[in-house]
Structure 1
Amino acid sequence: MVPAAFVFGDSLVDVGNNNHLPVSLAKADFPHNGMDFPNKKATGRFSNGKNSADFLAEKLGLPPSPPYLALVSNSSKSNSSSQFLTGVSFASGGAGILDGTADKYKQSIPLTKQVEYYLAVHESLVQHMGSSGAKQHVTKSLFIIVIGSNDIFGYSGSSDLRKQHTPQQYVDLMASSLKDQLKHLHSYDARKFVFVGLPPIGCCPSQRNQNKTAACKEDTNSWSRMYNTALQAMLKGLKAELNDISYSYLDTYAVVQNFVLNPSAHGFTEVKAACCGLGNLNAKVGCLPISHYCPNRRDHVFWDLYHPTEAAARMFIDKVFHGAPQYAYPMDVQQLATVGA
């Protein structure tokens, strides 16, 4: 449907970039991660199997976008641009929109750096296809942006940040910083964007575990909603400024809230506890080789402290890809793919 998918984001869509960051604390290259992946191996995806970027690629008829750091570390050839042709993933566990967000994970690729890496890929495509060929290729491709949760977790966990910024100021800073990066991408031929809004992150097991009743953390959820509102306002303004862009905003909040409030309608039986972990809600310790894991991953919305199961990721993409105006607007992903085709 499109020639390529370029993925920017955090651990929700990391497909193995962090495996190549020697001191990063945000890694998933060990069991029980990947236990339901095709070869039953941990790939660096924070999931029991595939993640939402994989399912989106499948729907688009593309192979999964490979991790950029794997491509550049394997590339002994001086010109390996052909491996970038169907897209690349720059996503990195722990990454944020704001540069300081990833500091607690020691090493991560913040959005600013992910965009720099894309510029190197763009240059490589220009060498390979010529500037007009590369431009035509890239303008038809999708740019998938899945980032912001770690910035909210960072705000929630830092009294310093909360002293410096009101919640509104902080989410506005996130949105304006993202806008700067989008303009940068646009100046290198990016035209079609998929924005994945923040889910109700206060409902993930790590946050519920902070409440005696295991209820969702309402302040974290309210900041997620506040950011989503700021993001949508920013996108409308950006579209007015750069009228050659098209985008699809995915209302992750509504989809995941629906899973949590009406689990049985979606085939889930467990919405609070993680499948893989230890302690209360399997949320005291993350998914490590020593952790317990649930026998039926399909029952659970959450795989570990923060991340959805493969089943939840697949269902999310099913809902937003085609024909769900309440979850994807101003157009769904399938419509976006056909723009300018």
Structure 2
Amino acid sequence: MERKIWFGVCVTLLVVTVLGVNADPLVPCYFIFGDSLVDNGNNNNIASLARANYLPYGIDFSEGPTGRFSNGKTTIDVISELLGFDDYIPPYAQVSGSQQVVRGANFASAAAGIRAETGQQLGGRISFGEQVTNYQNAVSQVVQILGDENQAANYLSKCIFSVGLGSNDYLNNYFMPTYYSTGSQYTPDQYAQVLIQEYAQNIRTMYNYGARKFVFNGIGQIGCSPNELAQRSPDGSTCDERINSANRIFNARLKELVQQLNNEFTDGRAIYINVYDMFQDLIDNPSAFGFTNTNSGCCGVGKNNGQITCLPLQTPCPNRNQYIFWDAFHPGDAANVIIGRRTFRAQKSTDSYPFDIERLAQI
């Protein structure tokens, strides 16, 4: 008994040492899976066109250009602050093999999708399946650090696991017939089902490796992004309903998956975040949130004229907080703060199901 008590004390001291003396977050660690909306540096050193480790990206961020596709924070950064972490959760590429992995890691990769082939025209990226493999490796590190599988399992069961993928499976796959055949191979309903099946398979793998508190982020209105408006909208401001309709089908299936897994995982809990409707609020009533521009990127010319990302050292608009979008696809800091706060603590009953992250952290 004395040996067990002493072992527990040692583990506690180790975790406190790694996390920092003043750290008192709502959860001990936070793991993030996703794409460019939350990537914070995993793509920096891979052969990919989907990179953002240069100015003007990060122009308003305390650490400068880090690989975040934003002028400032991502939604994950905002949620990390609200969870009580002293520092932002680092990219896995930075903490792999380090004791810092016990506080969490961001596995997200720009251009990544649920399907392995998604985003391949942009070069290197880390698909959802590969991100989960990286998580499995991280768990091995956590077990090694804590010294015992049971200790590690108990520790991981208290952590939050955020998953936000699917956007690229539409943007850089289904609605890109030049490179992919999925648009002719599946109806939108069939494609959503195929995506959800693979999504669920990866979630079950994560569950088998200790994950118990899941956050499933729905995808936003891709048909309203500046890139799609520039390509498909006759007036430059009318969202593409064909794309948005497919996005809603996916989101409905994702919400159903939450219900299914909550019945299946007796010792786990999943929640759904309704990002789609949160963005609808910003687009429908931008002035209420301080926005004056909803259909073009702050970094780019006009409606971006085919320019997807900011060019290196490009001068962005001066009134960045008035733009919902930073570049052709990604929200800026101001929008990310709003979405991040509503994701953490729901402002409407429709923001999350069955409850929000704040409640999930307390369970």
Aligned to 2:141: 124
For residue 244 of structure 1, give the secondary structure of its aligned residue in structure 2.
Answer: coil
Q: Distance in 2 between matches of 1:5 and 1:242?
A: 20
Q: Return the letter of the residue paired with 2:126.
A: I
Aligned to 2:360: 336
For residue 270 of structure 2, give the secondary structure of its aligned residue in structure 1.
Answer: strand
Structure 1 stretches of 4+ with a deviation exceeding 2 A read: 289-292
Q: 2:190 matched to 1:173?
A: no
Q: Return the letter of the residue paired with 2:303.
A: L
| 1:115-146 C-alpha deviation (Å, 9 max, x unpaired) | 00000110111111111211111000000001
Aligned to 1:139: 157
Aligned to 2:30: 5
State how 1:46-65 maps to structure 2 within 5 Å. 46-62=69-85, 63-65=87-89
> 1:251 pairs with 245, 254, 274, which one?
274
Q: Return the letter of the residue paired with 1:221.
A: N
Q: Return the letter of the residue paired with 1:43.
A: T
| 1:133-189 C-alpha deviation (Å, 9 max, x unpaired) | 111110000000011100011101126212211111101111110000000000011
Checking the alignment, whether the CA contact within 8 Å between 1:176 and 1:234 is kept in structure 2 is: no
Q: Distance in 1 between matches of 2:181 and 2:137?
A: 35
Q: 2:302 matched to 1:275?
A: no
Q: 2:129 matched to 1:106?
A: no
| 1:48-74 C-alpha deviation (Å, 9 max, x unpaired) | 0110111110000112111111223xx
Please identify, of 240-249 and 184-193, the stretch whose mean Cα deviation from structure 2 is larger: 240-249
State how 1:29-48 maps to structure 2 within 5 Å. 29-39=53-63, 41-48=64-71
Aligned residues: 329
TM-score by structure 1 length?
0.94
TM-score by structure 2 length?
0.88
Q: Distance in 2 between matches of 1:249 and 1:138?
A: 20
Query: Per the alignment, do residues 168 and 323 of structure 1 end up closer, same or farther by CA in structure 2, a change over 3 Å counting?
Result: closer
CA shift at 1:88, angstroms? 0.3
Aligned to 2:174: 155
Aligned to 1:223: 246
Q: Distance in 1 between matches of 2:276 and 2:325?
A: 15
Q: Return the letter of the residue paired with 1:64.
A: Y
Structure 2: runs of 5 or more not aligned = 1-25
Aligned to 2:16: none
> 1:314 pairs with 314, 326, 337, which one?
337
CA shift at 1:236, angstroms? 1.2
Structure 1: runs of 5 or more not aligned = none
Bigger Rg, structure 1 or 2: 2
The RMSD of aligned alpha carbons is 1.2
Checking the alignment, whether the CA contact within 8 Å between 1:8 and 1:145 is kept in structure 2 is: yes
Aligned to 2:235: 213
Q: Return the letter of the residue paired with 1:239.
A: N
